[in-house]
Amino acid sequence: MRLTFLGKDSVPDQSPTLYATDRDSYVVQGWIVTNPQILATVELSEDETVVEVPAKLMVHLAKDGLEGDVVNLVPPIVSVTETGTYIVRGKKITDQEALGQMDIPGHETCVEVSRPAVSALLVGN
Q: Residue 12: pLDDT above 90?
A: no
CA distance 57 to 54: 6
Mind listing the pLDDT tens digit for each residue in 63-106?
A: 999 988 898 888 999 999 999 999 999 999 999 999 999 989 89
Count the Cβ atoms, other than its own, within 10 Å of residue 11.
8
CB distance 1 to 95 below 8 Å: yes
User: Residue 39: which residues within 8 A CB-CB, separation 6 or more?
Assistant: 33, 50
Q: What is the pLDDT of residues 13-49, one digit of tens each?
A: 668 999 999 999 999 999 999 999 999 999 999 999 9
Spatial separation of the C-alpha atoms in residues 94 and 123, rounded to whole Å: 31
Average pLDDT of the residues in 44-59: 95
Can you tell me the mean pLDDT for 47-58? Answer: 95
